[in-house]
Amino acid sequence: MRNGIPGQIPDNASVLTDLGVMYRRKGQFRKAIKSFGRAIQANPRQEAAYFNKGVVFLHDINDRENAIKAWEDLLRVNPMAKVQSGELVMELVQNIKRKKLP
């Protein structure tokens, strides 16, 4: 935890990513994006944070441009990143750019 003060959110990328997922489930999309951003700052290799940030932008806020940016940032960390279905994130980005949503 930051300075060990109870009640503060730790600078732990996994915890911050999970918090972002919880915010999304509650419909608090801006807080989710902020939490994913903090997770990425805490650990720039936190792939789940990049991916989930893109999901919120695309599916919840309808912001295709920022979704693509989040996923392209993920591809800089791991060019072979995949979604849960096994599809490469690179293919997902290409499909979205062609306006063919998954």
pLDDT over 80 at 16, yes or no: yes
Looking at CATH, the fold of the domain delimited by 9-97 is given as 1.25.40
Mean residue pLDDT of the chain comes to: 91
pLDDT per position as a tens digit, 44-69: 999 999 999 999 999 999 999 999 99
Spatial separation of the C-alpha atoms in residues 24 and 21, rounded to whole Å? 5
9 — pLDDT class (breaks 50, 70, 90)? low
Q: Give me the residue spans of the domains in the chain.
A: 9-97
Q: What mean pLDDT comes out for the span 17-39? A: 98
Residue 10: the pLDDT is 72
